[in-house]
Structure 1
Amino acid sequence: MQLPEYHGDDFYCDVAIPHPEALRVVHDDARVLAFQHTKPFWDVHVVVVPKRHIPSLTATTDADEADLRALFAAVRSVAGVVEAEYGAAAVLTNLGRYQDSKHLHVHVHSGARRPQLDRWR
């Protein structure tokens, strides 16, 4: 399956989580999905996302604790693999206007930044 062109505001709920078979998945469990970014900004670029909709890091509540624990355990694991393979890794989340998809997600990346011809997802 090929991912459709997407112009909404929650790529993860609308496309990625329901269609992991269309992604290059690196981690998948009951609470978290991690996959290679569909339009990477860096040479190595993995996105880690909770499967339950959480709007952003700053919108979390006590009710999100289990999902956040699972999310950051997956981020730690993915970042460890990237760091071991490439010698360095960075972890990033965006907030407010910087957050294109209004669903909490964490980028794990390494290497040079790639030029972008259009908006990322």
Structure 2
Amino acid sequence: MEDFYCREVLSGNTQVETVVDTKNVLAFYHTHPFYEEHIVVIPKKHITSFITVKEEESIIMSEVLSVIKEIATDMDDKFGACTVSTNIGDYQTNKHMHWHIHFGKRIRD
């Protein structure tokens, strides 16, 4: 199972530019952005997908959503809009729940 975030980011093997770092959540600029402004939000605990979140992980999810809201609000204030998304199933190439917050033109496929 591919998990770039545990293997590379959370382990420190790949350095990232941090946006927000809390007890349970890390937000950082995408390592290979698809958009002009592209931030990724991940839980520090391995959770495979949004649809696999367990009830006992609700505190972590609350923190994830709080960080997403903070970043989306900042982006909306700065640019007037943003997109917040997560992928599930076959659309999710990295099997560690993560959220994208982005704005601007697509800069790569």
TM-score (norm: length of structure 2)? 0.94
Q: Are 2:6 and 1:13 equivalent residues in the alignment? A: yes
Question: Unaligned 5+ residue runs, structure 2?
Answer: none
Deviations along 1:35-90, one digit per CA (max 9) or x if unpaired, are: 00001111110000000000000111101101100000000001111111111111
Q: Are 2:20 and 1:27 equivalent residues in the alignment? A: yes
1:49 and 1:101 mapped to 2: Cα distance? 11
Q: Which residue of 2 aligns with 1:84?
A: 77
Which runs of structure 1 show a deviation greater than 6 angstroms over 4 or more consecutive aligned residues? none
Aligned partner of 1:41 among 2, 16, 34: 34
- Seq. identity, %: 35
TM-score (norm: length of structure 1)? 0.85
Residue 20 of structure 1, CA deviation: 8.3
Question: Unaligned 5+ residue runs, structure 1?
Answer: 1-7, 117-121
Residue 100 of structure 1, CA deviation: 1.0
1:91 and 1:43 mapped to 2: Cα distance? 14
Q: Which residue of 2 aligns with 1:99?
A: 92
